[in-house]
Chain A
């Protein structure tokens, strides 16, 4: 497989440089954008495989970018990057079609791996997003819960597969199913479920 082509969108130049330095050995970074308008132009011109998207930007953030080109370019996949550990922040992006979410403190090797997985059409959950979904989404099958629990514990997909005695493809299948459920759930429902869970404990 050829190297996925990546566009980095973040309003901090330093961070863009940092990301480029971290992943350019393994991936092809075809452009950087610091504003929503720049990002829209760049993505339309370059048609990258994956867009690394900052959640919090001064002029509308990742959500504006996703809403701008998400429907128009279905082949471009988006991986949300957030400085915040609060997964509630990225629920809107997941709803808008992002394929995954990782925090900015992710290890360099893991970031490149996450981009590759998103490029291959898989969903990427950070441990904290997995933990949040586990607590907030009530329509999970027991198997999906098992998978999410292991991801929240810091297991890589292949380790999850090994632990549960299933194939990595099946793990991907479960995670993608959870992502779809998450996209179909409103923010309101999520927070209500989360609140009910907490009340029950």
Chain B
């Protein structure tokens, strides 16, 4: 069986949905013809002219019916041929051409009988939509849909003039409106879960309204109004749904594109630049190492959000971590930092951070190439920081003058803020500077 078309009947734009079968005879074999349009328009104008001269008493019902029929035929005749339009939900139940024609005829003939045919069609279409939703990219065929709907309206109006409507207009039109709306919803809505839920809700509501009609408990005018409101909702609902879905998809696409552009920009600005620099400095291992290290830090900050270079550190740990990068960059070395615990950065702690910075500078100057580490622990109102290098170390008694100056400045700084500092070193054993701050909790 061929896949039934999903752009059928629809009649999403007009308040009725007699089955498309009615137009099949004229439209399938013909190519769109302006002749057909001309004939239809001429027919309408002749009839209206006769009516106007009083030769023919048509009345509003017949006039409207004729206009609808002619406009519908004209619309379909000028639309691109679409065989699919004439199959619709019925194709699922009719495997032979003959059975299809029978179903079409039954649908249109029973339309004036309380809208049984179109309503049944609408429910079939909905059942189909819920079980195998049409693909999102299926294009609605507006002209055929509108034309089909107009022809259906014309047929029902003509039936009304001939007195063939049962039980009466008040019942028929809301039912047709609901049927049109529901098949239109099916036609327009895609396979998203949200669309399906709305669809199921609309069907339930329509069935309730229909049931109320059959039972006859509710005032017809009220129900008719409700059904009309439902029809409007289901006609415009799916369009809104679709456009909002399209909007969300569009926004997501835009966000993805932005992110890609940002990543590409960052990669270009940092990684590619660094790689280019590394190529030109390949003969200077220290420089290459420094470039790689700086790049690594930058990427880490981006990927893991480890640090925000522009922000002022608010805590002791963050401030200590912020000290390392500039020293690493300047002295082409690597500093390992481990912190345990944390506390807000007050004045004394700021002094400790500055002292740690001095100690780190000291270490990288006097122990070039050896690993330098900083460990800080904040606990129980006490801040302790240790700066350690694995350099040559020295004899405290014979330290050079410049180094003494630095250590003195470290010690003095700590003492001024109520802490203390100590240097421990031995020739060949590296050097460790301890900075302790006893804080009043």
Shortest CB–CB separation between residue A123 and chain B, in angstroms? Answer: 17
Contact of A128 with B304 in the complex, beta carbons under 8 Å:
no
* Chain A proximity mask over B368-396: 1 for CB below 8 Å, otherwise 0: 00010101011100000010101000000
Q: Which of the residues B300, B304, B342, B373 comes within 8 Å of A154, measured between beta carbons?
A: B373
Nearest CB to that of A84 among chain B residues? B304
Interface secondary structure of B, over-half rule: strand
Nearest CB to that of A110 among chain B residues? B371
Q: Which residues of A contact B378 (CB under 8 A)?
A: 201
Q: Which residues of A contact B375 (CB under 8 A)?
A: 127, 131, 149, 152-154
Q: Which residues of A contact B306 (CB under 8 A)?
A: 85
A85, A132, A153 — most chain B CB neighbours (10 Å): A153
Contact of B340 with A127 in the complex, beta carbons under 8 Å:
no
Nearest CB to that of B293 among chain A residues? A105
* Chain B proximity mask over A80-107: 1 for CB below 8 Å, otherwise 0: 0000111000000000000000000101
For the complex, is B339 an interface residue (Cβ under 8 Å from A)?
Answer: yes
For the complex, is B341 an interface residue (Cβ under 8 Å from A)?
Answer: yes
Contact of B336 with A154 in the complex, beta carbons under 8 Å:
yes
Q: Which of the residues B300, B338, B379, B386 comes within 8 Å of A201, measured between beta carbons?
A: B379
Contact of A153 with B336 in the complex, beta carbons under 8 Å:
no
Q: Which of the residues B334, B338, B343, B390 comes within 8 Å of A127, measured between beta carbons?
A: B338
Question: Of residues 116 to 169 in A, which have CB atoms within 8 Å of B's CB atoms?
Answer: 127-128, 130-132, 134-135, 149, 152-155
Contact of B342 with A128 in the complex, beta carbons under 8 Å:
no
Interface size class of B (residues with CB under 8 A): 20 to 34
For the complex, is A188 an interface residue (Cβ under 8 Å from B)?
Answer: no
Contact of A128 with B371 in the complex, beta carbons under 8 Å:
no
Q: Which residues of B contact A127 (CB under 8 A)?
A: 336, 338, 373, 375
For the complex, is A197 an interface residue (Cβ under 8 Å from B)?
Answer: yes
A152-B340 contact in complex given A84-B304, A105-B334, A201-B379, C-beta closer than 8 Å:
yes
* Chain B proximity mask over A37-68: 1 for CB below 8 Å, otherwise 0: 00000000000000000000000000000000
Contact of A198 with B342 in the complex, beta carbons under 8 Å:
yes
Contact of B371 with A152 in the complex, beta carbons under 8 Å:
no
Shortest CB–CB separation between residue A83 and chain B, in angstroms? Answer: 9
* Chain A proximity mask over B144-161: 1 for CB below 8 Å, otherwise 0: 000000000000000000
Task: Give the CA-CA distance A86 to B373 in the complex, in Å.
Answer: 16
Q: Which of the residues A84, A86, A131, A154 comes within 8 Å of B340, measured between beta carbons?
A: A131
Task: Give the CA-CA distance A105 to B339 in the complex, in Å.
Answer: 18
Q: Which of the residues B336, B341, B390 comes within 8 Å of A198, measured between beta carbons?
A: B341
Interface size class of A (residues with CB under 8 A): 20 to 34
Contact of A130 with B338 in the complex, beta carbons under 8 Å:
yes
Task: Give the CA-CA distance A135 to B342 in the complex, in Å.
Answer: 10
Contact of B338 with A128 in the complex, beta carbons under 8 Å:
yes
Q: Which residues of B contact A107 (CB under 8 A)?
A: 371
Shortest CB–CB separation between residue B384 and chain A, in angstroms? Answer: 9
Q: Which residues of B contact A153 (CB under 8 A)?
A: 338, 373, 375, 386, 388, 432
Contact of B343 with A201 in the complex, beta carbons under 8 Å:
yes
Q: Which of the residues B341, B343, B371 comes within 8 Å of A135, measured between beta carbons?
A: B341
* Chain B proximity mask over A168-201: 1 for CB below 8 Å, otherwise 0: 0000000000000000000000000000011001
A154-B371 contact in complex given A105-B334, A127-B336, A149-B377, C-beta closer than 8 Å:
yes
Shortest CB–CB separation between residue B273 and chain A, in angstroms? Answer: 20
Shortest CB–CB separation between residue A144 and chain B, in angstroms? Answer: 14
Task: Give the CA-CA distance A152 to B375 in the complex, in Å.
Answer: 6
Contact of A131 with B304 in the complex, beta carbons under 8 Å:
no
* Chain A proximity mask over B320-341: 1 for CB below 8 Å, otherwise 0: 0000000000000010101111
* Chain A proximity mask over B420-441: 1 for CB below 8 Å, otherwise 0: 0000000000001000000000
Nearest CB to that of B373 among chain A residues? A154
Shortest CB–CB separation between residue A151 and chain B, in angstroms? Answer: 9
Query: Could you pull out 27 A-B pairs where Cβ atoms are within 8 angstroms?
Result: A85-B300, A85-B306, A107-B371, A127-B336, A127-B338, A127-B373, A127-B375, A128-B336, A128-B338, A130-B338, A131-B340, A134-B340, A135-B340, A135-B341, A149-B377, A152-B377, A153-B373, A153-B386, A153-B388, A154-B336, A154-B375, A154-B388, A154-B390, A155-B388, A198-B341, A201-B378, A201-B379
Q: Given A128-B338, A153-B386, A154-B390, output 7 extra A-B contacts at Cβ < 8 Å.
A: A85-B300, A130-B338, A152-B377, A153-B373, A153-B388, A197-B379, A201-B341
